[in-house]
Chains A and B, each alone.
Chain A
Amino acid sequence: MPENIILEMKEIEIKFPGVKALDKVDFTLRKGEVHSLLGENGAGKSTLIKCLTGVNRKDGGKILLNGQEINPTSPQQAVDLGISTVFQEINLCPNLTVAENIFIGRQPMKRGGIDWKTINKRANELMERFHLDIDVTRPLSFYSTAVQQMVSIARAVDIQAKILILDEPTSSLDDNEVRLLFEVMRQLKAEGMGIIFITHFLDQVYEISDRMTILRNGHLIGSYEIGQLNKVQLVTEMIGKDIDVIFNLKRADVKEDAAYMLEAEHIGVPGKVKDISVTLKEGELLGFAGLLGSGRTETAEMLFGAEKTAQGKIRKKGSDISLKTPHEAIMNRIAFCPEDRKTDGIIGDLSIRENIMLAVQARRGFMHPMSRAEQDKLADYYIKALGIATPDAEKKIGELSGGNQQKVILARWMATEPDVLILDEPTRGIDVGAKAEIQRLMLERCRDGVSVIFISSELDEIIRCSNRIVVMRDRQKVAEVDGATCTQQDILNIIAEGSAAENGKEASV
């Protein structure tokens, strides 16, 4: 049905410094279909969307909307063309009212001024359609993330778009809200809108989509009708062949008599993490599983002193230590690679050598500067040891690919010869090969007697590497399972059932 095609993207290419984010990717969208865009983290889904909505400039290829070539250079242009997007992060203004967030930029006017009455009335109608019973004249910041997400969808829907892009819209919604959203999506579909749907939840893909397109590492793997692939085939396509490398990894063995490296008792920060206790043995790899925002990162930050604990005790090798600042943590030989390497980790304009030596220098104090020869030796050693792909140590880290940047950060902390290494999402946004490499390095550290805390959203890699796994949900630890015997489904069940169990508890109280 070629006459039904509303959007055609042909041989799209996008290059970022050091990486090809998209390599000749084709994508077509028909009128009145829900088309899922699938791929692992870093596969290029968001990049493709950002190209379509004018956030990123493309380096090659063509976009045809209803057969006519378009080149949106700003979100505004994309909106004018009828392409409307709901991003994963809520892109609304918290200080404006709910109603205004829906209508800003295209407010109905009356007698030369903004017609507030109509705005509020129409916002109320929209909210009713979404079965949300809220006061649309209150500031948006007054409502929960889920409500805010629904409001941003309402905004996109009201634009009267031809194409609606939903980038992970369901990650902050509960089952009921997801059902509502799907209802609205079906309605829009029936009205002839083309919907691009991005999600990590495969069940939702099968529930709502008509077709799907799979990306891997910036390459197009293929487009399929929903009946053509079953879930297992889909996952295999998403992960790809490199799967073998991963299966060859073996988790580290913890000696029976291994001493406790770190013991945290009842630590917590009000509003962020509720009362949590964890232990970590020498040479052990402890995984932290849980959804985004479940308190994983905050717990890691407490163990590194970046988040001040309001209660509880932390012992290292049996003696109490104080962890009020990252500096104290570094002095106690605890290292932490933060979640977002772009903002918290790398210093893009400094060289690889300088980035590696940072933490070591911090440990020594500025009164004892490292000599250039020492720095060179350190940098060269780690470039070789971790297999960082670079001509020399003086290259700016910003010019490396994501995987190599991550290795440099790993090197930075490994150079401090830590006892405890905390890695928050070290494999996010890097390709499968580099992921396996990082995991291998992590496990090697364990064999050297370093204790590692590994936080990841990807359950398979947590299970593959961890000796024990702490499962977090709603800012607390809900379970601790053995890495060798548990399955992904077990952990998913814990995360899902945790909520059921807790609801039961609340009901019985």
Chain B
Amino acid sequence: MNKTSSKKQSLLSRLMNPKYIMVYATVAIFLIIYLFGAINYGDKGFLSLRTLIISMFTENAYYGISAVGMTMVLITGGIDLSVGAVSALTGMIIAYGVAIMNLPPMLCLLFALVIGVGLGLLMGAGIHYLNVPPFIMTLTGMFLTRGICSLMSRESIEINNELIDALAGFKIYIKWWNEDGEWAKIKPICYINFNFILFIVMIIIGTILLQRTRFGRNVYAIGGNEQSAKLMGLPVARTKILVYGFNGFCSVLAGFAYVLYVKSGWNLALQGGELEVITCAVIGGTLMTGGVGYMVGTLFGVLLKSAIPALITFNGNLLSWWGKIATGALLLLFIFIQRVVVVYSNRKKQE
């Protein structure tokens, strides 16, 4: 169908490339759910920007930040179960450092970054050189990190610090011309906060890494076929280890975002958070078997995952556990779509 004359492809045919199919599925399902909410609960404000941005982005930013790193890990065909624990450890380090040792919070964050990235690199090295399955290796990392959290304190430590308060309270209000023709805050009040910005920045960094650097392309190659990647002369070991290191980096930033959200450190914070993060990436179209995934997909995955609790809140009559059930159903749907895509493309090739 592609004649030599169509070497310069139209935008449309470039967008129709089958490699984007999973992202399109995510966006489509998000739009359907959003439209459903808008039609049913439009009068209660589901349509307003405020709901969209505050509920869906701001309150889930820490999952999103972590999902950036997780997406990359999943693309290599791996998994990382330690992210929730590493985020919690970040909270503990900052809380302990600031509240008990009176250290500046940024120094604590730096220290947490060193620990988080170091642990990630170590797990990556174990996975590659010792050939330990990622599941087991990062499970070990999770228990280790949780243990250290509890060693530091078994109670929640409150953080009272100017810088933390300032960052947590940082808001950019969204303005528009009101009825009087004045440039003013829109109503209902709508703003974006620091976590939101951090999330978007991480998505952009993730996209650049994946799409514009050799490192990112090697990540895809490893997920596609690790043996081939090796035979093509790609730096498989370095790439895999760095991916887990980067994921550690993201988990620490996610932990920092969570600290800004709750202003305390708690050893049991974000338990099971790693599964939420994996869910965001998977319903964002990242293939659990590796090789396929986009940061934009993950962005919509986070939106989609947080749209469901928002819907249930608006309904008002449903128990919040329905959110879990709906999320489960969504995951199932996505795994189903992924299988269909794989089977379909195999059949197509055989013809």
Q: Identify B214's interface contact among A76, A107, A141, CB under 8 A.
A: A107
Residue A100 at the chain B interface, CB threshold 8 Å: yes
Known: A92-B225, A141-B345. A104 touches B18 (CB 8 A): no
Q: Which of B26-34, B94-102, B231-239 contacts A (4 or more CB under 8 A)?
A: B231-239
Whether A105 and B213, one on each chain, are in contact in the complex, defined by CB atoms closer than 8 angstroms, is: no
Residue A377 at the chain B interface, CB threshold 8 Å: no
Interface string of A82-98 (1 = CB under 8 A from B): 00010100111111110
For residue A123, give the distance in angstroms from its CB to the closest CB of chain B. 11
In the docked arrangement, what's the CA distance between A68 and B318, Å?
Answer: 76
For residue A107, give the distance in angstroms from its CB to the closest CB of chain B. 6
Whether A96 and B221, one on each chain, are in contact in the complex, defined by CB atoms closer than 8 angstroms, is: yes
In the docked arrangement, what's the CA distance between A79 and B235, Å?
Answer: 12
Residue of B211, B228, B291 with most chain A CB atoms under a 10 A cut-off: B228
Total contacting residues, chain B, CB less than 8 A: 37
Residue A114 at the chain B interface, CB threshold 8 Å: yes
Whether B229 and A93, one on each chain, are in contact in the complex, defined by CB atoms closer than 8 angstroms, is: yes
Q: For chain B residues 212-254, which have a beta carbon within 8 Å of chain A? A: 212-214, 217-218, 220-221, 223-225, 227-235
Q: For chain A residues 126-155, which have a beta carbon within 8 Å of chain B? A: 128, 133-135, 137-139, 141-144, 155
Known: A76-B233, A92-B228, A95-B292. A138 touches B17 (CB 8 A): yes
Residue B7 at the chain A interface, CB threshold 8 Å: yes
Which residues of the partner chain B approach A100 to less than 8 Å between Cβ atoms?
217
Which residues of the partner chain B approach A94 to less than 8 Å between Cβ atoms?
224-225, 291
Q: For chain B residues 1-37, which have a beta carbon within 8 Å of chain A? A: 2-4, 7, 9, 14, 17-19
Q: For chain B residues 303-351, which have a beta carbon within 8 Å of chain A? A: 345, 347-350
Whether B7 and A139, one on each chain, are in contact in the complex, defined by CB atoms closer than 8 angstroms, is: no
Which residues of the partner chain A approach B230 to less than 8 Å between Cβ atoms?
74-75
Q: Identify A124's interface contact among B7, B19, B349, CB under 8 A.
A: B7
In the docked arrangement, what's the CA distance between A142 and B1, Å?
Answer: 13
Known: A100-B217, A143-B349. A93 touches B225 (CB 8 A): yes
Residue B208 at the chain A interface, CB threshold 8 Å: yes
Q: Identify B2's interface contact among A95, A105, A134, CB under 8 A.
A: A134
Whether B349 and A76, one on each chain, are in contact in the complex, defined by CB atoms closer than 8 angstroms, is: no
Residue of A80, A93, A141 with most chain B CB atoms under a 10 A cut-off: A93
In the docked arrangement, what's the CA distance between A155 and B349, Å?
Answer: 21
Whether B291 and A138, one on each chain, are in contact in the complex, defined by CB atoms closer than 8 angstroms, is: no
Residue A113 at the chain B interface, CB threshold 8 Å: yes
Whether B349 and A144, one on each chain, are in contact in the complex, defined by CB atoms closer than 8 angstroms, is: yes
Which residues of the partner chain B approach A78 to less than 8 Å between Cβ atoms?
233
Known: A139-B19, A142-B348. A95 touches B234 (CB 8 A): no
Q: What's the interface size class on A, roughly?
A: 35 or more
Whether A95 and B224, one on each chain, are in contact in the complex, defined by CB atoms closer than 8 angstroms, is: yes
In the docked arrangement, what's the CA distance between A92 and B14, Å?
Answer: 22
In the docked arrangement, what's the CA distance between A144 and B349, Å?
Answer: 6
Which residues of the partner chain A approach B228 to less than 8 Å between Cβ atoms?
90-93
Whether A104 and B212, one on each chain, are in contact in the complex, defined by CB atoms closer than 8 angstroms, is: no
Q: For chain B residues 151-184, which have a beta carbon within 8 Å of chain A? A: none
Chain A, Cβ-Cβ closest to B287: A95
Known: A76-B233, A79-B233, A105-B232. A95 touches B7 (CB 8 A): no
Whether A114 and B3, one on each chain, are in contact in the complex, defined by CB atoms closer than 8 angstroms, is: no
Whether A104 and B350, one on each chain, are in contact in the complex, defined by CB atoms closer than 8 angstroms, is: no
Whether A93 and B4, one on each chain, are in contact in the complex, defined by CB atoms closer than 8 angstroms, is: no
Whether A93 and B348, one on each chain, are in contact in the complex, defined by CB atoms closer than 8 angstroms, is: no
In the docked arrangement, what's the CA distance between A94 and B225, Å?
Answer: 7
Whether A76 and B235, one on each chain, are in contact in the complex, defined by CB atoms closer than 8 angstroms, is: yes
In the docked arrangement, what's the CA distance between A104 and B217, Å?
Answer: 7
Whether B14 and A137, one on each chain, are in contact in the complex, defined by CB atoms closer than 8 angstroms, is: yes
Which residues of the partner chain A approach B292 to less than 8 Å between Cβ atoms?
95
In the docked arrangement, what's the CA distance between A93 and B231, Å?
Answer: 11
Residue A227 at the chain B interface, CB threshold 8 Å: no
In the docked arrangement, what's the CA distance between A100 and B221, Å?
Answer: 10
Whether B9 and A107, one on each chain, are in contact in the complex, defined by CB atoms closer than 8 angstroms, is: no
Q: Identify A142's interface contact among B18, B211, B217, B234, CB under 8 A.
A: B18
For residue B71, give the distance in angstroms from its CB to the closest CB of chain A. 14
Known: A94-B224, A133-B3. A87 touches B212 (CB 8 A): no
For residue A263, give the distance in angstroms from its CB to the closest CB of chain B. 29
Whether A92 and B232, one on each chain, are in contact in the complex, defined by CB atoms closer than 8 angstroms, is: yes
Whether A93 and B18, one on each chain, are in contact in the complex, defined by CB atoms closer than 8 angstroms, is: no
Which residues of the partner chain A approach B224 to less than 8 Å between Cβ atoms?
93-96
Would you mind naming 18 contact pairs between A and B with Cβ atoms under 8 Å apart? A74-B230, A75-B231, A85-B231, A91-B228, A92-B232, A96-B220, A96-B224, A97-B19, A105-B218, A105-B232, A113-B208, A114-B211, A135-B2, A138-B18, A138-B19, A142-B18, A142-B349, A155-B232
Which B residues lie at the A interface, using CB under 8 A?
2-4, 7, 9, 14, 17-19, 208, 211-214, 217-218, 220-221, 223-225, 227-235, 291-292, 345, 347-350
The 6 A-B pairs with the shortest beta carbon distances in the complex, nearest first, are A93-B224, A113-B212, A95-B291, A76-B233, A95-B224, A79-B233
List 15 other contacts, CB 8 Å, given A91-B232, A95-B291, A113-B213. A74-B230, A75-B232, A76-B234, A91-B227, A92-B225, A93-B224, A93-B291, A95-B19, A97-B19, A105-B214, A105-B218, A105-B234, A107-B217, A133-B3, A138-B17
Which A residues lie at the B interface, using CB under 8 A?
55, 74-76, 78-80, 85, 87, 90-97, 100, 104-105, 107, 112-114, 124, 128, 133-135, 137-139, 141-144, 155, 271
